[in-house]
C-alpha cells in the first residue's frame, strides 16, 4: 500500500478528487470535467494513478497543473470580501432575516421568506448548469439598494434574472405590467429591463433580462414582452440550450469581472 488517500470534493458544481498523503498534503487532483490528472510532482506519478484507478472513466491527460489564465489570476487576486462568487442564492434576504427576523407570531407569513425560497429554488436550478459551461452569480448588489437576483454567464451569453414568487397564483403579463393573483398590476418589467441595462453597463457586454416565475398556477401573456424572456422555474434549463455567443475564454473572463464587487460599485 502506498498510503495515498482519495478525497472527493465538489464546489460550484465542479467535482474534483484530491490525492493526499497520510498527513493531508495534496500531491495531485483529478478533474472529472476536464478529464485531467494534475500532478504537483512527477515522482509519485504511478502511485497517484494507482490510487485513482477505480475512479478514472475513459482516457485522461496526466501532467502538471495548467498555467492559470488571466481570468483565473484575476480571480485569485481578489480579496475574499470583494469576491461575490460565494454569495448564496438570496444572500441579501438571508442577511436581512438574520438581522431582523420579524415577530415570531404574525397573521401572514413574512413575504421575505417567500421571496427567499423562490430565489433559492431558482439558484439551485441554475447551479446545476455549471457542468455545461455556465457560471451563476447570486444576489449581486447594485448601488441604491437594488440587486441582480441571479446573473447567468455561459456559451449563450449573459442573462440577468429577476425572480417573482408566484406559488399557486395566476400571473398575467401585459408589458410592462405584471399582475400576481388578485393583486394590483405593477410595472415589474421596467425594473427587470433596468437591472439588465445596469449589468450591461457594468460588464460592457450585452446582458439580456429574464423574469422567472416560481411555481405559478397559470401564466398568461397578452403578447411577447419587449426584450424580456418570461420563464417559469421549470423552464430554466432552456437557457442552457442556447449557444454560439461566447467562447469559453470569454465566459471565464466575464465571470472574473462580474464576481468582483468593485465592478458593481462603479455604477
> Is the link from the previous residue into 259 a cis peptide, with omega within 30 of 0?
no
User: Residue 6 belongs to what H/E stretch?
Assistant: strand 5-11
- Residue with grid cell 401572514, as numbered in its chain: 108
- 17-26: per-residue pLDDT in tens? 889 888 777 8
pTM of the predicted structure, to 2 decimals: 0.73
- 39-49: per-residue pLDDT in tens? 988 888 999 99
- 151-202: per-residue pLDDT in tens? 999 999 999 999 999 999 999 999 999 999 999 999 999 999 999 999 999 9
Q: What percent of the chain has pLDDT over 70?
A: 92
SS (H, E, C) 78-123: CCHHHECCCCCCCHHHHHHHHHCCCCCCCCCCCHHHHHHHHHHHHH
Residue 181: the pLDDT is 93
3-class secondary structure, 241: helix
Amino acid at each position: 500500500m502506498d498510503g495515498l488517500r482519495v478525497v472527493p470534493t465538489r464546489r460550484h458544481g465542479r467535482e474534483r478528487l484530491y490525492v493526499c498523503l497520510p498527513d493531508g498534503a495534496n500531491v495531485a487532483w483529478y478533474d472529472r470535467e476536464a478529464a485531467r490528472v494534475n500532478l504537483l510532482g512527477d515522482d509519485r506519478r504511478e502511485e497517484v494513478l494507482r490510487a485513482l484507478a477505480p475512479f478514472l472513466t475513459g482516457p485522461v491527460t496526466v501532467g502538471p497543473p495548467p498555467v492559470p489564465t488571466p481570468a483565473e489570476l484575476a480571480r485569485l487576486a481578489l480579496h475574499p470580501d470583494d469576491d461575490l462568487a460565494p454569495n448564496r442564492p438570496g444572500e441579501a434576504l438571508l442577511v436581512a432575516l438574520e438581522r431582523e427576523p420579524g415577530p415570531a407570531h404574525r397573521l401572514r407569513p413574512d413575504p421575505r421568506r417567500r421571496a427567499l425560497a423562490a430565489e433559492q429554488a431558482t439558484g439551485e436550478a441554475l447551479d446545476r448548469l455549471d457542468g455545461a459551461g455556465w457560471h451563476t452569480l447570486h444576489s449581486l448588489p447594485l448601488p441604491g439598494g437594488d440587486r441582480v437576483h441571479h446573473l447567468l454567464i455561459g456559451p449563450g451569453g449573459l442573462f440577468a434574472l429577476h425572480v417573482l414568487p408566484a406559488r399557486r397564483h395566476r400571473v398575467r403579463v401585459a408589458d410592462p405590467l405584471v399582475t400576481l393573483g388578485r393583486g394590483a398590476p405593477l410595472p415589474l418589467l421596467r425594473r427587470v429591463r433596468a437591472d439588465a441595462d445596469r449589468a450591461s453597463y457594468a460588464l460592457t457586454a450585452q446582458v439580456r433580462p429574464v423574469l422567472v416565475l416560481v411555481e405559478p398556477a397559470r401564466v398568461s401573456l397578452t403578447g411577447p414582452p419587449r426584450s424580456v424572456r418570461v420563464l417559469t422555474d421549470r423552464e430554466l434549463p432552456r437557457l442552457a440550450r442556447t449557444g454560439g455567443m461566447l467562447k469559453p475564454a470569454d465566459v471565464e473572463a466575464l465571470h472574473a469581472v462580474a464576481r468582483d464587487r468593485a465592478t458593481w460599485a462603479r455604477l
